[in-house]
């Protein structure tokens, strides 16, 4: 009897164990089935959005992946090539952070290799040397929620002029030079449209840049109908001449203003009409030669401080050939330490014929930027093309290549291959995405974002992207939706092109990486953006249903 009792107990335990396994198996199968149903339902909803007749004519590409597992949540044409527009900035800023580090700082100096005598006379040229700082301007830094500029835009240059005055310099018996040889003399990218070059989106690239390389023109109506409009420049100087043909009209008449400047011309023609009571217009117009313009401004500042410059004001530009293989890549500099850029000539200085070492420049003034990550935030949140192009030059320099479009592109390619992308997934000819010859796949963007999330700088990179419903180019999107505050993503806009790629999480905290491209559409941008936002909101609200 005792042996039978034990056998019965064992049998009962076995039955219970088998029952438990059956329950667990049934639960796992049920969870897997629910996940499949959830994924199918999510795909149906996304397909319904994209299947609308007016949207279906466009070329769509999507890739949505869970970064921890690599599980695909949804995809459509993930391996086809698309025009990325400003999504190209994702590639450039990631490479910049990888090569330079978030704490890298830019140094701008005023220096000379001449001799200053006991009476304060400089026997030689005075040079303001740019080394790629994109934020010598009135821009409020660090960036908070939106772009803010505090006049005067020249405040950083004014501070440097004060330093020069305190050095005791009285007379410059030579020229005042704006030196931008730190980067190659290539102002415009391949595939840029000529119509972009007058406006801020197509601002020319220079290692010595001021105020995003634009002049802000303020236009306001006159006192009476028939009067000329009031047209003023926010920054002093005679770099451009204004030909004002805008007439003030009676209140209620529609404003109509035209502005044009031929490339290379110093004349800006303004025409049209502006009604009484109109709040006015502010237009940023590009500067052809930022280094020369900055030198002109700096000369005026010195003269106001009693410093006389007897020579000319001019720019010094580098040539691409002089850089290759000659400039070592400076190591990233931890915050608070001295950057190896400081007080060094921008380009190698040839040794005298005798073979003796070249004289070390005497630095009379210096401006040190905030850490690089603060500019990456500006670049990504406000989609600043010039800053991205300057970043590409820095990538070239620190990557051991030329600080040019070609060199920067080669160094960027090396970085992307290291990040796990393949050569057939991308072709990038500039750093900003303004070029209409750039191409990338949604899968390549997702791979880049996944790789970046695993790097020491990954969190700072993700947070540099606009936050849905909060700041940057997403401040007005996803408002009053479940996705508000849950999406860090980069926008992209060109004619017939819209894109959004980045990081997001579901309402339950599940993370996903996504890339959405819409090319070749002929719709108002608002309709395409609404569709993209619908898709992302669906991922936020329904993404948990596809989890096993």
- Give the phi and the psi of residue 541 in degrees, each rounded to 5: -90, -30
Give the tokens for residue 161: 């002029």
| CA–CA distances in Å: residue 141 to residues 2, 144, 149, 369, 374 | 85, 8, 9, 10, 8
- The pTM assigned to this predicted structure is 0.85
Give the tokens for residue 223: 């006192």
> Any idea which residue has 């190896």 for tokens?
340
Rounded distance between C-alpha atoms, residue 270 and residue 223, angstroms: 18
Q: What angle do CA 343, 384, 489 make, to 5 degrees?
A: 120
Report CA 248 to chain centroid distance, whole Å: 38
For 391-428, letters b (16+ CB in 10 Å) and e give bbbbbbbbbbbbbbbbbbbbbbbbbbeebebeeebbeb
Q: Is 425 helix (H, G, I), strand (E, B) or coil?
A: helix
Report CA 390 to chain centroid distance, whole Å: 9
Nearest C-alpha neighbor of 180 from the set 400, 365, 346: 346
**Per-residue 3-state assignment (H helix, E strand, C coil) for 58-122:** CEEEEEEEECCCCEEEEEECCCCCECCHHHHHHHHHHHHHHHHCCCCCCEEEEEECCEECCCCEE
Q: At what angle do helices 88-100 and 442-453 cross, to 10 degrees?
A: 30
Nearest C-alpha neighbor of 341 from the set 108, 181, 135, 96: 108
My answer on whether omega of the bond before 377 falls inside 30° of 0, hence cis, is: no
Give the tokens for residue 144: 């908070």
Residue by residue, pLDDT tens for the chain (548 residues) are 444 444 666 666 666 666 666 555 555 455 455 556 667 889 999 999 999 999 999 999 999 999 988 999 999 999 999 999 999 999 999 999 999 999 999 999 999 999 999 999 999 999 999 999 999 998 999 999 888 888 788 999 999 999 999 999 999 999 999 999 999 998 888 888 777 888 888 899 999 999 999 988 899 999 999 999 999 888 777 788 889 999 999 998 899 999 988 887 888 899 999 999 899 898 888 998 999 999 999 999 999 999 999 999 999 998 754 443 333 333 343 333 334 344 333 334 444 444 555 678 999 999 999 999 999 999 999 999 999 999 999 999 999 999 999 999 999 999 999 999 999 999 999 999 999 999 999 999 999 999 999 999 999 999 999 999 999 999 999 999 999 999 999 999 999 999 999 999 998 889 999 999 999 999 999 999 999 999 999 999 987 876 65
Which spans in 352-470 are helix H?
Answer: 372-382, 385-398, 405-418, 442-453, 458-463
For 329-348, letters b (16+ CB in 10 Å) and e give beebbeeeeebebebbbbbe
Q: At what angle do helices 385-398 and 372-382 cross, to 10 degrees?
A: 140
| CA–CA distances in Å: residue 167 to residues 122, 162, 360, 365, 529 | 11, 9, 17, 8, 55
């Amino acid at each position: 009897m005792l042996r039978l009792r034990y056998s019965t107990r064992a049998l009962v335990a076995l039955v219970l164990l088998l029952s438990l396994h059956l329950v667990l198996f049934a639960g796992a199968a049920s969870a897997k089935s629910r996940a499949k149903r959830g994924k199918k339902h999510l795909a149906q909803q996304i397909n319904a959005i994209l299947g609308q007749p007016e949207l279906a004519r466009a070329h769509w590409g999507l890739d949505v992946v869970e970064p921890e597992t690599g599980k695909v949540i949804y995809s459509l044409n993930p391996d086809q090539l698309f025009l990325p527009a400003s999504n190209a900035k994702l590639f450039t800023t990631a490479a910049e952070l990888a090569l330079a580090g978030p704490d890298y700082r830019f140094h701008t100096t005023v220096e000379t290799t001449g001799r200053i005598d006991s009476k304060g006379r400089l026997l030689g040229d005075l040079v303001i040397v740019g080394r790629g700082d994109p934020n010598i301007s009135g821009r409020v830094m660090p960036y908070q929620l939106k772009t803010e500029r505090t006049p005067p835009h020249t405040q950083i240059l004014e501070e440097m002029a004060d330093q020069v005055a305190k050095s005791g310099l009285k007379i410059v018996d030579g020229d005042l030079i704006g030196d931008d040889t730190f980067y190659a003399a290539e102002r415009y990218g391949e595939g840029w449209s000529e119509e972009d070059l007058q406006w801020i989106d197509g601002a020319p690239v220079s290692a010595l840049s001021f105020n995003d390389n634009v002049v802000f023109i303020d236009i306001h109506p006159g006192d009476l109908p028939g009067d000329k409009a009031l047209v003023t420049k926010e920054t002093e100087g005679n770099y451009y001449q204004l030909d004002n043909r805008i007439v003030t009209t009676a209140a209620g008449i529609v404003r109509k203003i035209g502005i044009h400047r031929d490339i290379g011309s110093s004349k800006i023609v303004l025409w049209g009409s502006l009604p009484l009571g109109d709040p006015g217009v502010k237009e940023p117009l590009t500067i052809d030669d930022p280094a020369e313009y900055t030198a002109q401004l700096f000369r005026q500042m010195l003269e106001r401080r009693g410093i006389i410059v007897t020579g000319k004001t001019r720019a010094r530009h580098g040539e691409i050939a002089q850089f290759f293989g000659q400039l070592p890549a400076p190591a990233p500099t931890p915050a608070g330490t001295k950057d190896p850029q400081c007080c060094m000539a921008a380009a190698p200085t040839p040794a005298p014929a005798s073979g003796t070492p070249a004289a070390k420049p005497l630095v009379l003034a210096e401006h040190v930027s905030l850490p690089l990550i603060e500019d990456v935030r500006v670049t990504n949140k406000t989609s600043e093309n010039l800053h991205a192009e300057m970043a590409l030059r820095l990538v070239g320099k620190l990557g051991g290549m030329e600080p040019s479009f070609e060199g920067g592109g080669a160094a960027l390619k090396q970085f992307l291959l290291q990040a796990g992308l393949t050569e057939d997934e991308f072709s990038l000819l500039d750093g900003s995405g303004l070029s209409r010859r750039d191409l990338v796949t949604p899968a390549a963007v997702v791979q880049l974002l996944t790789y970046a999330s695993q790097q020491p700088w990954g969190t700072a990179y993700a947070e540099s992207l606009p936050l849905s419903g909060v700041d940057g180019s997403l401040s007005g999107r996803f408002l009053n939706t479940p996705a508000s505050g849950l999406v860090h993503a980069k926008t992209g806009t060109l004619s017939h092109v819209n894109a959004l790629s980045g990081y997001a999480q579901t309402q339950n905290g599940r993370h996903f990486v996504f890339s959405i491209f819409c090319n070749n559409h002929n719709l108002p941008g608002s309709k395409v953006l609404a569709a993209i936002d619908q898709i992302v909101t669906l991922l936020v609200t329904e993404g948990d249903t596809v989890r096993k």
